[in-house]
Amino acid sequence: MDNYKGTIKYIGEIAKDTYKMGIISDLKQIKAGQFVSVLCPNKTLRRPFSASGFENGILSILFKLRGEGTEYLKNLKYGNNIDFLAPLGNGFDIKNKKSLLIGAGIGIAPMLFLKNELNKRNIENYLISGFKEVGEIVKGSDETIVGGSVLDNIENLIEKFKPEIIYSCGPSIVLKLVSELGIKKSIETQVALERVMACSIGVCRGCVIKLIKNNELTNASVCKDGPVFKGDEVVW
Amino acid sequence: MVKLETTLKNEKTSNSLTLKTPIIGASGTFGYNSEFVDFIDLNCFGAIATKGITLEKRPGNSGERIFEVQGGMINRIGLENVGIEAFVKEKMPYLLEHNIDFLLNIAGSSIEDYEKLAQIAQENNIKALEVNVSCPNVKQGCLEFGLNPESLFKLTQKIRQIYEGFLIVKLSPNTSDIKSLATATEQGGADCISAINTIRALGVKVDFIGNKFIKKSVQGGLSGSCIKPVALYMVSEIKRAVKIPVIAMGGISKLSDLFEFLSVGADAFEIGTANFIYPSICTSLARELNEFIEKNNFKNFEELKEQFKNE
């Protein structure tokens, strides 16, 4: 982890209230599932965002307007400076297995990065994403569900595609259902969680969740031990 | 940074603590201190206060632990920590090996807890203790130790009888009479006071979704720049009541904040919430302070501090 001063290479609204930002900096590497913590000078705390890609030294993030922090970011322009901590968290543990990727809402961001990585390694994959309405669709999936839940027809998809591993990112309720589905179908799941964070490097214990490991209940910080966890270990 | 060296001294007992700089990392913002070593310049730190350590391991609170507010944040971590035994065995060797000066921050739920913790600190030659007294006394109706002068006096005295190192008591601001508490601490035998701990607060957010109000709330301790005026007031009141040195904290993030606290009598500083936003803030503050001293021809930090005393 280091503190980087980057410059904005591009920024634009790619879907309703959803922005994509490209940042050039000295950052050398970041994995799919890892995140960055961006300084928003009008707010006390930094804002965490999953990397949605990293190509030619340009880090991309996606963000949805949620409040004053993202409102500040939205108004940044090409050439503006941006202060961020990166790379943070553990990232997905990529397996050479037929992969199903499930992205719900803005949770698609790390899924796009992961899909790209899987493609590079010639690992067969299928990305299904879900959005509340047509205007909110972020492109790049193999299948997109609008309205309803991204999981509405998931059992049929699993029957047809026969994944050996499922990766997912989105609201807790979706990740919980994905994890339960994995247990039911005996498929490994890796889920990327989102939490309000303060330090984003594991010291303040502000974003702690419970895990069950070897029948023992333990604490894990989403920012340092996660944000990616084995779905069957998370206590929802 | 030779110019920044400072000594906190209890004139009555001659107990003292020499710090490389007056900048101290506040408890809860540096974990057990080893996590940060790659990112900080240890020469800039007078010390780092450990996470609050209890007798037994604690899982902390469940549910949301952080709530952001204008100019600050509310936390309810609930003293999640590994417990004193694991700290001494697993965390302390690293600190000693890397020459990291630390204040062992301790918390208990009974006087006996604190006594045992003080005993362990004494046995392990821990140089400085920072006692968190903002904990409920489970045996006495869960009233905070730090809010009642008699119980605070008794607690300080008990720890003092066991622990011979530099004893710092961290005072809570959740009182209408900080002076009596400070006096009780001094009379109990503390060498130093650190203040202020977080301010009790309630963060509330109400959304109107689908014709319904949805309320989210987090009750905990408020920290960050918004509490600075309260901290300044408390430190100045404490200084009126006691002669022992005071480590000031509460919303410090700039060089001018250091001067403001010096002007009300602070002897050293702890930096808390600002570390979350700028992980290198302590390093920058120490360097800026050093530059200021050089540029303005002060001999050292001690001389700069004297100037405020003569005002």
Q: What ipTM was assigned to the predicted interfaces of this complex?
A: 0.91
Structural domain harbouring B136: 2-62+78-199+222-309
Q: What is the pLDDT of residue B41?
A: 84
Two structure tokens written together for A185: 């179908």
Q: How confident is the model at residue B230 (pLDDT cuts 50, 70, 90)?
A: very high
Residue B214 lies in a domain: no
**A50: which residues sit within 8 A by CB, 6+ positions away?**
A33, A34, A35, A61, A62, A109, A110, A113, A169, A192, A227
Quote the CA–CA distance of A117 and A100 in Å, as a whole number.
13
Asked if residue B73 belongs to a domain, the reply is: no
Domain count, chain B: 1
- Domain assignment present for B215: no
Residue B138 lies in a domain: yes
Give Cα B28 to chain centroid, integer Å.
Answer: 9
Query: Over the stretch B260-284, which tens digit does the pLDDT of each residue have?
Result: 999 999 999 999 999 999 999 999 9
H-helix or E-strand containing B30?
Answer: none
Please give the order of strands across the beta sheet that includes A188-192. A143-146, A125-131, A99-104, A165-169, A188-192, A228-230
List the domains of chain A with CATH numbers.
2-88 (2.40.30.10)
Helix (H, G, I), strand (E, B) or coil at B77: coil
Check which CATH number belongs to the domain holding B24 and give it: 3.20.20.70
Q: How far apart are CA B272 and CA B19, in angstroms?
A: 18
For residue range B50-64, list pLDDT tens digits in order.
Answer: 999 999 999 999 989
Judge whether B72 and B224 are in contact, CB under 8 Å: yes
The single residue listed with the structure tokens 């509340």 is A132
What is the reported pTM? Answer: 0.94
Residues of B acting as catalytic residues: 135
Which residues of A fall within a CB distance of 8 Å from B224? 44
Token pair of A88, please?
């943070």
- Smallest Cα distance from B183 to chain A, Å: 32
Quote helix, strand, coil % in chain A, to nearest 5: 20, 40, 40
Chains A & B: contacts with CB separation below 8 Å: 76
3-class DSSP state for residue A167? strand
Strand, coil or helix: B89: helix
Out of A113-117, B2-6, B224-228, which region has the weakest mean confidence (pLDDT)? B2-6
Rounded to an integer, the average pLDDT of A121-139 is 97
Task: State the amino acid at position A23 in one-letter form.
Answer: I
Rounded Cα distance between B106 and B84, Å, is: 9
* Torsion from C-alpha of B277, B281, B282, B283, nearest 10 degrees: 140
User: Phi, psi at residue A170, to the nearest 5°?
Assistant: 160, -165
Angle, helices B228-241/B178-188, rounded to nearest 10 degrees: 50
| Confidence at residue B2, expressed as pLDDT on a 0 to 100 scale | 73
The pLDDT, as a whole number, for residue A136 is: 97
**Does the pLDDT at position A131 exceed 80?**
yes
Closest CA in chain A for residue B223: A44
| Mean pLDDT, rounded, of chain A | 96
Q: How far is CA A64 from CA A52, A173, A195, B69, in A?
A: 13, 19, 15, 20
Q: How confident is the model at residue B311 (pLDDT cuts 50, 70, 90)?
A: low
| Residue corresponding to tokens 């037994």 | B56
pLDDT at B302: 95
Whether residue B70 lies inside any domain: the answer is no
**How close, in Å, is residue B28 to chain A by CA atoms?**
6
Residue numbers in B near A87 (CB within 8 A): none
Q: Which token pair is B157?
A: 């005295």
Whether the Cβ atoms of residue B95 and residue B68 lie closer than 8 Å to each other: no
Question: What is the tens place of the pLDDT at every residue in B127-145?
Answer: 999 999 987 776 776 678 8
Which residue in B225, B276, B280 is closest to A204 by CB distance?
B276
Band of pLDDT at residue B31, cut at 50, 70 and 90: confident
pLDDT(B37) > 90? no
Q: Cis bond leading into B196, ω under 30°?
A: yes
CB nearest A202 (choices: B35, B70, B273): B35
